[in-house]
Structure 1
Amino acid sequence: MKVQFALVGNPNSGKTSTFNQLTGAKQTVGNWPGVTVERKSGKYKKDKHIVIQDLPGIYSLSPYTPEEVISRNYLQEAAIDTVLNIVDGTNLERNLYLTLQLLEMGLPLVVAINMSDLLKKKGIQLNTDKLSYGLGVPVVKISALKQQGIDKMINAAKQSAKQHSDVVRYDSRLESALSEIGRVLPTELSEEKRRWLAIKLFEKDTLIAEMLQLSDTQKKEVAETIAIAEMIFKESSDAILVNERYAFIEGLLSLAVIREADQRLSISDKIDHVLTHRVLALPLFAFFMWLIYYLSIQTVGTLGTDWVNDVLFGSWIPDILDRAMQQWHVAQWLQAMIQDGIVAGVGAVLGFLPQIFVLFFCLAILEDCGYMARIAFVMDRLFRKFGLSGKSFIPMLIATGCGVPGVMASRTIENQKDRRLTVMVTTFMPCSAKLPIIALISGAFFPGRTWVAPSAYFIGMGAIILSGIVLKKTALFAGDPAPFIMELPAYHMPQLTSVLKSACDRGIAFVKKAGTIIFVACIVIWFASSYDFTLTRVAEEQSILAFAGRAAAPLFAPLGWGTWRGTVATITGLVAKENVIGTFGILYGQTGAVSESGNEIWQLLRNDYTAVAAYSFLIFNLLCAPCFAAIGAIHREMGDSKWTWLAIGYQCGLAYCASFIVYQLGHVIFEGGHLTIVTCIAFLVLCLMIFALVKKPSRKMQGPIQVIGG
């Protein structure tokens, strides 16, 4: 008979480390149905009959974030034998707030005080017997990092299985109000269930109110009871509950905790004085992120990428397949599809994997040691001015290496609107795949003008900031004012197993979700560029792809590069941005990659495009929808096809408008072009974009940041 345990705790409480210690490698990872919040489950490595469910890290069971809604629904509906509440022992007051809410639900509960080995260093003596007595549930000390107390916690969970926890009692006036509300609820409900629902109705939980479907009379009785309580306490109902919970916790800790009188700053506090310093914080963060970027993209990760591209998929696999297909007499068209389509396409995707793994490994170290929480605090003050979350900065910085991990890194943002906004704008940052386009345009059309190449980065950053300002004024992304609450845990040494597990999980997700889209797309692109409509093998100029390019070319004529060659290069660039250069090389009669000097292709390009048209082409390819791998990552993080299409539509629309304005106005100003009706339209579009920037938002921006120190 299987036993179900659920791990619940605050972010940075050590819950995931505990889960890894319990399950080892026997884990499954996926998403909760309909949402992008990750779920993990696994079997206890010492007893396969015990299944551990790792719920998302949350601060409370109030329905403010997807994680909180998911966790509460699971605790309500799933057949859980025991809840294992992982509590950060160095921050008991904050963590026990969630513990009280679990007790209010009447669930079988075991409280595990993690990081117990750090309590003595912080001058804290914790009496678990008194804490257990006050809470009415078993309390055990554990250290996930040092693998201490884990077995004791599981044994306590087995003994507590199916046993409802004691009811927490608050102020008698509040209890009277809860009793009155409980009488309104259906009588067939258990006492524990009625009390919990009464608490939720008292704090005006809209999801619970909708679920209960109370009559108008019942709603009126509940509202009257709440109004009387608010009059007595002179506080709002939700504030009454918050105060009562913290008052209970304060009394409990005065009973069970003894703190030494030594008020010296802890090592963690001393580190924070430097890392969160108003002046030093940003330069230090820039250095750390530069170091991560250098290790993952420039050195360690590149070694793996070069080997995968040049050796594994450059010679080994193609040679093996070539010999095998020759021996098996495989048809020429199938050989070409496998080698030029599947192997080349999948190889290009997997070539990113070593860089992604190193990058995620480094980020996991920062997350596990507690530094990432500080980054959000430091960056929030700056990014909030542009309507973005402080956590949005990290995905954007990562995207300068590759858009795929940049998009995937947005999952660290709890707020769904901020997360979706970040996903929409992250790929505006010029990734390494766009560098050849930047180099080609700047070298061919702007020789000696050193501002052109760096301007690509300023365009990307400018698009992000301006998009944040505009989109936050829309109904899709504007929201009610809400404080940004973060936990600042004590610094500690990262656990190697947790770091490796995190990096591996993210790497596997990249291969499974993003890589499959490239696999299919490369076959389609190969076929379209190799055959005509009679399914005859032809040169690329006579292929289906060339025909499609000519059909779509008029769409890009107002941008200055409406030739079928430029159109086809842009289309193939959706598979991978590097394809833009390769496509130009083929379509202009150059085989292979562009030579180092590029003089031949540069002259041919200058015959077809002016300098302003070329810069317009550069802007469009910088800002338009990213490669198929990044689009796959966007779909994964959005968790919804409509939102994915909205993101792609916005990116392409902004790219088109920016390119349109640059060419039409630049052609008149710098190349002596004539004013036309199209030029006037471009000026009107520019005015509309400026208006969108300066108009007042329909709702207020989020409230000031609140930091809870650890």
Structure 2
Amino acid sequence: MEIALIGNPNTGKTSLFNNLTGSYEYVGNWSGVTVEKKVGVFKNNIGRLIDLPGVYSLNPLSKDEGVVTSYFLEEKVDRLLNIIDASQLERNLHLTLQLLEYGKHSLIGLNMVDVAKMRGIQIDVEKLAKSLGVPVIPVVARSGKGCDVLVEVISDQSNQQNLKRLVYYGKEVEEAITKLTDMLAGKTDHLPRWLALQWFEGNQYVKQHLQEIIEAEKLESLTKELEEKLKLANNHFKSLANYIYSKRKEVIELIIENAVHKETKAVPLSERIDTIVTNRYLGMPIFLLFMYLMFMLTFDWLGSPLTDALDSFITGPITVVFESILNTVNASDFIHALVIEGLVTGVGGVLVFVPQIFILFFFISLLEDSGYMARVALVMDRIMEAVGLNGKAFIPMMIGFGCNVPGIMAARTIETPRERLLTILLTPLMSCSARLPVYALFVGAFFVGHKAFIVLSLYVLGMIVALILAKIFTATLLKSETSLFVIELPPYRLPQIQSLWRSTWDKGKGFVRKAGTFIFAGSVFIWLLSYSGPGGLEVAMDDSFLAAIGGFIAPMFEPIGFGTWQASASLITGFLAKEAVISTMNIIYFVPDEASLQGILAGYYSPLAAYSFMVFILLYIPCLATAATIYKETGSRKWTAFSLLYALAIAYVLCLVIYQGGKLFGLV
């Protein structure tokens, strides 16, 4: 049995999916989390549950919303599980009515009843179910309360429904629906009435479907005839879509009047908090303060001691164990050097930053699950609008702080193609977690007293560069009007420990996985290049193939502060994965007697050059996985190449200004 889980954004849909299937998908207390369908199997094995992207209507505005209509048109759907937010019942029911018109066996999960009660909203579940003609089951998706009842009801094969027609659209529309359903008789597997309504609403996916069945001229003629009749009958007629919406709204108002009782309550705490955190003047400083505290915890108060302890463990006991094993099996000098200088040093040099990565992800998950991230998008809307975007574009960028790949994919939630493309091009400028080990290494070596401030400056710099480029691109390459920004502010929630851990692990495991795959393979390859050269094997590092490759491009980096072959070689491997920069440096600068890599770097960089290097890491070409995702989402080699080249140019120019400007002020 195929059961589709569908609802508005931020109604707890993904949490419910996790509870019903026992799997774990990323949960965020903000819209745009699910950008493509996810499939799981019910715990009791009654069938498959398909988690569809959150939508407000079946008439898609954005790419991710189109996934829902495409699924309904092309895939087999046995039943619908519609989750609705009890505290936003009127808005949610617009989608519910469209789902009931689809004509499949349906069930409603009434979520967030607790939030509704806090707002003085009392819902009579029995009256609501009677009005809609389908079962309504109260649930708490976050905790799983009511999910067992939900499964029992949806599993009951005998509970077949004769869905009643809830909305009468008026004589003119009903006559047009009848005409179109007659044309469709025997030509489609879908309910003709639903197809007719979606056609008149302007659903582009349904239009393409119907034009394959019926001549486009006949369809357009019928639509035009209906519009003329409605204009004569209604002086306030605007459009068919608006007219159909108003008829549904009338029915929803009657349902609300019958099943919902509202009490007057004091202003909710969340609204009082919002007056501060979304304030025009205080919103941005508060956001930056949160970021600063997050970096202090990551790099100073918690992260540094844990990283130092792990580093001591890897360079001490772990290295001793590997050396003991190699000596026991009488490994050759080549194998010994490969394992110790290549793998342990290369991969271990990246793994030491795992504590800081997980700490950062924990606090990002905390902000997301609490509902604060949606407020950040609202605060940023005022700035984004000035550069030709809106606050919704900032959500993919925020996701990009974890990893640019899902950030770029999240741009599917943006309605207009121009703004979606622009967001895809700018998201790689956000500082992802893969860059974090590079920052940690350099701030620990050169900016010990100001670690959090320096890292914060890099994150802010990435955002500022993105905003400036957005203004330039919208005025030149991608001219268009900015779309309207509408966002729902979810209620503040006290994050659950289990949810926080799952979210943190989901984000951080990719870093660990890359250490065992990309970084492992890269470390072997880089070590081989450093171990061999034109003169044979076991050559001096400066005479290796790696030194030759790095030395070839090193002169171009001289004006920006790091014109050594070592820095150049590290940047090349950074295209595969930004973490590879660290593993490459650990191999290149490997000196067994030295206490740490940070101490060695002081002989190769000045503080100004170190900052310039970090800025270059922040902005220069996206990693291979990000570049592949850009191509997948845009379908264009031209825009993919542009994203690589412009980022490299911007990185070089900005680092040139920073380094040469710093020299002028005597900062070297």
Q: Note the C-alpha offset of 1:398.
A: 8.8
- The more displaced of 208-217 and 87-96 is 208-217
Q: 1:85, CA displacement in angstroms? A: 0.9
Deviations 1:556-578 (A, max 9, x none): 57878766566445435655455
> Equivalent residues in 2 for 1:473-492 (5 A)?
473=475, 481-492=482-493
Whole-angstrom CA distance in 1 between matches of 2:491 and 2:457? 41
**How many Å apart are 1:94 and its aligned residue?**
1.3
User: Could you tell me how far 1:487 is from its partner in structure 2?
Assistant: 1.4
Which residue type is aligned with residue 141 of structure 1? P
What CA deviation, in whole Å up to 9, does each residue of 1:267-307 have, x standing for no partner? 33333333333333333333333333333443344454444
1:221 match: 221
- Cα distance per residue 1:310-362 (max 9 Å; x no partner): 32x33343333322232223333233333333333333444443333333333
Match of 2:246 in 1: 243
Question: How far is the alpha carbon of 1:519 from its aligned partner?
Answer: 2.8
Per the alignment, in what secondary structure is the counterpart of residue 489 of structure 1?
coil
SS of 1:485's partner is coil
Q: Which residue of 2 aligns with 1:19?
A: 17
CA distance in 1, matches of 2:294, 2:584: 28
- Give the corresponding residue for 1:207: 205
Tell me the CA shift for residue 661 of structure 1: 7.2
Q: Does the CA contact (< 8 Å) of 1:531 and 1:544 recur in 2? A: yes
Segments of 5+ residues of structure 1 without an aligned counterpart are 444-450, 672-710
* 1:128 to 2:135 alignment: no
Partners of 1:319 and 1:203 lie apart in 2 by: 70
Across the two proteins, how many residue pairs are aligned to each other? Answer: 636
8 Å CA contact 1:623–1:652 kept in 2: the answer is yes
| Whole-angstrom CA distance in 2 between matches of 1:118 and 1:666 | 54
**One-letter amino acid of the structure 2 residue matched with residue 255 of structure 1:** N
**Counterpart position of 1:545:** 546
CA contact (8 A) 2:369 2:495 kept: yes
Alignment match, 2:417: none
Opposite residue 331 of structure 1, the aligned amino acid is S
SS in 1 for 2:84: strand
Q: Tell me, in whole angstroms, the C-alpha distance in 1 between the residues paired with 2:507 and 2:293.
A: 20
Name the counterpart of 1:95. Answer: 92
Written as runs of structure 1 = structure 2, the 5 A alignment for 1:151-190 is 151-159=148-156, 165-172=163-170, 173-185=172-184, 187-190=186-189
Shift, 1:8, TM fit: 1.5
Following the alignment from structure 2 to structure 1, what is the Cα–Cα distance between the partners of residues 26 and 40?
9
CA 1:656–1:267 in 2, change beyond 3 Å: closer, same or farther? closer
Q: Which residue of 2 aligns with 1:648?
A: 644
- After TM superposition, the score normalised by the length of structure 2 is 0.81
Q: Secondary structure at the match of 1:484?
A: coil
Mapped pair 1:433 → 2:438 = yes
Q: Which runs of 5 or more residues in structure 2 are unaligned?
A: 28-32, 415-419
Query: What's the % identity of the aligned pairs?
Result: 32
Give the match for residue 697 of structure 1.
Answer: none
Q: Which residue of 52, 57, 60 corresponds with 2:49?
A: 52
- 1 CA distance for matches of 2:598 and 2:306? 24
Distance 2:458 2:146 in 1: 54
Distance 1:638 1:453 in 2: 30
1:209-265 residue CA offsets vs partner (Å, 9 max, x unmatched):
2233343433432442353256345212222222222222112111211223x2532
Q: Which amino acid aligns with 1:593?
A: L
How many angstroms apart in 1 are the aligned matches of 2:382 and 2:616?
31
Distance in 1 (CA, whole Å) between partners of 2:627 and 2:191 is 40
The residue type paired with residue 646 of structure 2 is: Y
Distance 1:525 1:424 in 2: 25
Match of 1:423 among 418, 427, 447: 427
Letter in 2 for 1:23: T
Find the residue that maps to 1:469 and give its secondary structure: helix
- Contact 1:12/1:370 (CA < 8 Å) preserved in 2? no
Q: Within 5 Å, which residues of 2 pair with 1:365-384?
A: 365-384=366-385
The 3 A distance-change label for structure 1 pair 202 and 432 is same
Deviation at 1:526, TM superposition (A): 1.5
Q: 1:37 to 1:319 in 2, by over 3 A?
A: farther
Q: Cα distance, 1:77 vs. partner? A: 3.3
Residue 497 (1) aligns with residue 494 (2): no
| Paired AA for residue 523 in structure 1 | V
* Secondary structure of 1:48's aligned partner: coil
- Structure 1 residue 541: Cα displacement: 1.7
Give the match's secondary structure for 2:45.
Answer: strand
**Which segment is superposed worse, 368-377 or 426-435?**
426-435
- Structure 2 counterpart of 1:423, which letter? T
Distance 1:435 1:28 in 2: 29
Q: Which moved more, 1:451-460 or 1:508-517?
A: 451-460
Give 3-state SS (helix, strand or coil) of 1:486's partner.
coil
Partner of 1:120: helix, strand, or coil? helix
Residue in 2 that maps onto 1:446: none
3-state DSSP of counterpart to 1:364: helix
State the AA in 2 paired with 1:83: L
Indicate how the Cα distance of structure 1 residues 177 and 582 shifts in structure 2: closer, same or farther if over 3 A, else same. Answer: same
Offset at residue 90 of structure 1 (A): 0.8
Partner Cα separation in structure 2 for residue 572 and residue 517 of structure 1: 10
Q: SS where residue 277 of structure 1 aligns?
A: coil
Query: In the alignment, what sits opposite 1:623?
Result: 619
Describe how 1:582-621 pairs up with structure 2 within 5 A.
Answer: 593=597, 595=599, 598=602, 601=604, 620-621=616-617
| Alignment CA distance shift 1:441-1:353 (3 Å) | closer
Displacement of 1:137 in angstroms is: 1.4
2:176 and 2:528 map into 1 onto residues whose CA distance is 71
Are positions 1:255 and 2:252 aligned together?
no
Superposition deviation, residue 456 in structure 1: 6.8
**1:193 equivalent in structure 2:** 191
Give the residue type in structure 1 aligned to 2:35: V
Aligned residue for 1:42? 40
Q: Find the aligned partners of 2:610 and 2:136 in 1 and give their Cα distance.
A: 68
- Per mean C-alpha deviation after superposition, the further-off stretch among 485-494 and 335-344 is 335-344
Question: In structure 1, what residue type is equivalent to 2:3?
Answer: F
Q: Write out per-residue CA displacement over residues 92-130 of structure 1, whole angstroms, 9 at most, x where no aligned residue.
A: 011112212212222221011112234333322222222
The question of whether the paired residues in 2 share the 8 Å contact of 1:439 and 1:453 is answered with no
Residue number among 282, 300, 321 corresponding to 1:298 in the alignment: 300
Q: Give the 3 Å change call, closer, same or farther, for CA 516–270 of structure 1 in structure 2.
A: same
Q: What amino acid sits opposite 2:215 in the alignment?
A: S
